[in-house]
Amino acid sequence: MGNFDIYFDKDNNIRDEFKDCRWLRYLTDTDNIYVNAERVTSINSISGRELIEYVMRTLDILDDMELDAHSKFIINEVLNWSEVAKGGLAKERNEWISKGYPLDIHNLASAEIYMDYISDKGLKSEDTELIYALIKTHGLIGQCIRGEVPVSHNKELFDIVNEKLNGNDSSSSFESLLTALNECIIKAVSLDIWKAVETDVKTLIHRILSGDLSEFSAKYRLEKLCPKEIEIFDDSSDFFENRIFPEYELWYFTSALSDFDMGQIRKVFDLILQDFDSKCFKKSDISHINFKPLADSLYYDYESKKHVNVYKKRIIEKYLLDSSVQNVQIDIKIQNRTAYVDFRFSKVCEKLIDFCVEAERSGLLTFEKSIVVLYDMFGFRKDAFDRLNNEAKYLSTMNNVAGSTKDSIIEYAVGKKIVDVGSGGGILLDRLESRYPDKEIIGTDISQNVIETLEQKKSKEGHKWTVKIQNFAESAFDEKVDSIIFSSILHEIYSYTEGENGRFDIESVKKALKYAFDSLNPGGRIIIRDGIKTDSNDIRRIAFKDIRGLDFFHNYQRDFKGLKDIPDEKKVINVDEENLEVTGDINFIREFMYTYTWGNESYPHEVQEQFGYFTLKEYVDYLESLGADIITAREFLEPGYPSNLEQYLTLLDKDGNEVAYPESNCIIVLEKR
């Protein structure tokens, strides 16, 4: 880094000749760590040097530009001073605050700090007002493009430039200067971002210098603020156009609210405005809504990478649905015409969140069960089927696995009404809707949280399918339908349903299939894609390639409660610690391997489930006993299992010969006569 080497020695200390450089001292000699969480990949990696390193990157980019000396001088001064409000020692920061400088709106505060220095030193020149205006509007072009601030907030810049031009037609030189400045600012954050917005930046600069300060539409700004939202509804556009955008700049909106949906975001702003009204603030009292406190508190590191604290987010979501919830409240502090937004949790709620985070990191099944109980106690989740921790990653994995067979089973659907049982993340609903746009697609789940998430997905993405609560293990559907799809859901019914004989009772599967069969119109179909049990009592041996595999096996042997029909002494016949080998019943080995392939991330959930519960013959025999015709019944091995497992283990027979993996899945289609 060229400029870094100019200003700092090999020990990262400011070189003697620059020790009186005020802006440099503010940026380096500071006890304030100011980092936008949006721009880091790991919270724990924050060193406190991000600010000075960013400024040095902007200066390096400037050095490589072909500009006249005067333009380079002006941009250099702007870049030197534009971030200083984020630095400084506590004494200096308190002094700036006492002067009314809004330090978290750093372009405004930095401009005043610059002007204080220039005035104190008697360094005013003909360029001072322009540099001051450029610091004050520093970054606003990018914020306009992101939808955070109005275009009209650049009027001061236009006025200064217009006065400098004094009627002469040489605005192109200022256009080049402003483009270069914004290239330094944005490219130092990300080259990819600069490439994506370069044309927008140049277009907006040209507009501003032409005196066109007309605003972008509310819908455009919302689409920029919420790029994950597929559709921005008119009522939201009207709300922001009339209540938010004309009055307030939005700071750190994306880093704080990008993981919430539009309905939740709208509720956050409703609560903010209610708080303003309750405190009798006038519109002129507040000009900025700053979400940095929320952004700073919403993230934590998991497996050395930054993640949204889903436990905290779920509690906030509950509050946004029902503001009478007592364990969390919106927390708004006002200072220097800026409203700082966060959520405040009760002490017991904070401890709950801390416990869940540490329990997640430990990955222990006992903690996972405790989280379910605690969240039920507080009313923040509905049931144990809702996978709270790393939910997005888990559902993404579930949606991506075995895509080919999921695609193939929908081809068997017939009739006008198709039901997807246990819709989860909604991937099959989307595929059914795409394949059968004229049919009525209905998703079901036993989890209220899943239904709520699917409703949000439907609204966000504009789907036509519908969803409802339904448990086929307890009752038939409330209307006759033509196709019912059980895609990787019957094994969950088998594993979690508490029957007369507890969990892992085949009667739960039989009940679900019988109720589904009773829900069909004549000629209707049940389509099953699920695990399959091996019709054999062979012995298999696993040779692990790493001690971690054997450790995983020991945990699994202790925690797995399925395969109740196989005695424990036959499930695991031998464990050879020295050679990292285990020997046991083929079905127990099979269950272990196809759990192991999911890894530690999903272990607390997967170890509670038995994937194979019927052999193919047992399936066919039972379905035919209902009076069904079997259209197809086949078992197969998902190719993803061996391709993943071969890096961790080798499967052998009892004599030590390498053998093929047992079948993992089946597809069965039956038709009602």
Q: List the one residue out of 233, 125, 645 whose CA is nearest residue 460.
A: 233
pLDDT at 169 over 70: no
pLDDT at 413 over 80: yes
pLDDT at 490 over 80: yes
Quick one: pLDDT at residue 270?
Answer: 92
Q: What 3-state DSSP class applies to 550?
A: helix
Q: List the one residue out of 255, 188, 191 whose CA is nearest residue 52.
A: 188
Instruction: Tell me the HSE value of 536 on the side-chain side, using a 13 A CA sphere.
Output: 13
Beta bridge partners of 499: 502
Quick one: pLDDT at residue 321?
Answer: 78
| 8-state DSSP, 535 | S
pLDDT at 388 over 60: no
Most confident of the ranges 91-100, 457-466, 511-520: 511-520
- Alpha-helical segments (H) within 462-581: 490-496, 506-518, 547-559, 568-571
Quick one: pLDDT at residue 650?
Answer: 95
Quick one: pLDDT at residue 397?
Answer: 46
Question: How many residues are there in the chain?
Answer: 673
For 304-316, what is each residue's pLDDT tens digit? 667 778 788 888 8
CA distances from 632 to 100, 138, 616 (A): 76, 66, 11
Residues 154 and 204: their CA atoms lie apart, in Å, by 10
**Which parts of 422-510 are beta strand (E)?**
440-445, 466-469, 481-487
Quick one: pLDDT at residue 404?
Answer: 45
Q: List the one residue out of 409, 484, 463 whose CA is nearest residue 671.
A: 484
Quick one: pLDDT at residue 384?
Answer: 41
Whether 295 contacts 36, CB under 8 Å: yes
Backbone angles phi and psi of 615, in degrees to 5: -80, 165
Backbone angles phi and psi of 466, in degrees to 5: -120, 160
- Residue, of 447 and 372, whose pLDDT is higher: 447
Tell me what the pLDDT averaged over the chain comes to: 85
Instruction: Tell me the HSE value of 380 on the side-chain side, using a 13 A CA sphere.
Output: 26
Backbone angles phi and psi of 418, in degrees to 5: -120, 130
Q: First vs last Cα of the chain: how many Å apart?
A: 76
Confidence category of residue 374, pLDDT binned at 50, 70, 90: low
Structure tokens of 451?
């239904």
For 74-126, what is each residue's pLDDT tens digit? 999 999 999 999 988 989 999 999 998 988 888 899 999 999 999 998 999 98
Quick one: pLDDT at residue 229?
Answer: 65
Confidence category of residue 9, pLDDT binned at 50, 70, 90: confident
Residues 514 and 530: their CA atoms lie apart, in Å, by 17
Quick one: pLDDT at residue 398?
Answer: 45
639 Cβ partners below 8 Å, 6+ apart? none
Structure tokens of 610?
């038995």
Q: What's the whole-number mean pLDDT along residues 368-378? A: 62
Beta bridge partners of 529: 487, 667
Starting at the edge strand found earlier in the chain, the sheet holding 520-531 runs 466-469, 440-445, 417-421, 481-487, 520-531, 665-672, 628-636
DSSP, residue by residue, 247-294: T-EEESHHHHHTTS-HHHHHHHHHHHHHHHHHTT--GGG--EEE-HHH
Backbone angles phi and psi of 620, in degrees to 5: -60, -45
For 73-88, what is each residue's pLDDT tens digit? 999 999 999 999 998 8
Quick one: pLDDT at residue 361?
Answer: 67
Residues 36 and 293: their CA atoms lie apart, in Å, by 10
For the chain, the maximum distance between any two Cα atoms, rounded to a whole number of angstroms, is 97
Q: What 3-state DSSP class applies to 464?
A: coil
Q: Residue holding tokens 């790991």?
A: 42
Residues 561 and 211: their CA atoms lie apart, in Å, by 73
Structure tokens of 78?
């702007």
Whether 501 contacts 478, CB under 8 Å: no
Most confident of the ranges 45-49, 234-238, 606-610, 667-671: 667-671
Structure tokens of 280?
């009798």
Q: List the one residue out of 84, 36, 44, 76 whose CA is nearest residue 60.
A: 76
Instruction: Tell me the HSE value of 61 on the side-chain side, using a 13 A CA sphere.
Output: 22
Residues 6 and 670: their CA atoms lie apart, in Å, by 76
Q: What is the pTM of this model?
A: 0.61
Residues 160 and 451: their CA atoms lie apart, in Å, by 55
Q: List the one residue out of 43, 72, 13 whose CA is nearest residue 307.
A: 43
Residues 409 and 423: their CA atoms lie apart, in Å, by 15
Residues 390 and 123: their CA atoms lie apart, in Å, by 56
Instruction: Tell me the HSE value of 318 on the side-chain side, using a 13 A CA sphere.
Output: 23
Whether 401 contacts 620, CB under 8 Å: no
For 128-140, what is each residue's pLDDT tens digit? 988 999 999 888 8
CA distances from 445 to 87, 424, 437, 474, 480 (A): 52, 7, 22, 13, 18
| 8-state DSSP, 440 | E
Beta bridge partners of 10: none
pLDDT at 213 over 80: yes
Whether 179 contacts 205, CB under 8 Å: yes
Q: Do β-strands 305-308 and 299-302 pair in parallel, antiparallel, or remain unpaired? A: antiparallel
How many other C-beta atoms can be found within 10 angstroms of the C-beta atom of residue 176? 15
How many other C-beta atoms can be found within 10 angstroms of the C-beta atom of residue 122? 6
Confidence category of residue 399, pLDDT binned at 50, 70, 90: very low
pLDDT at 536 over 70: yes
- Residue, of 142 and 452, whose pLDDT is higher: 142
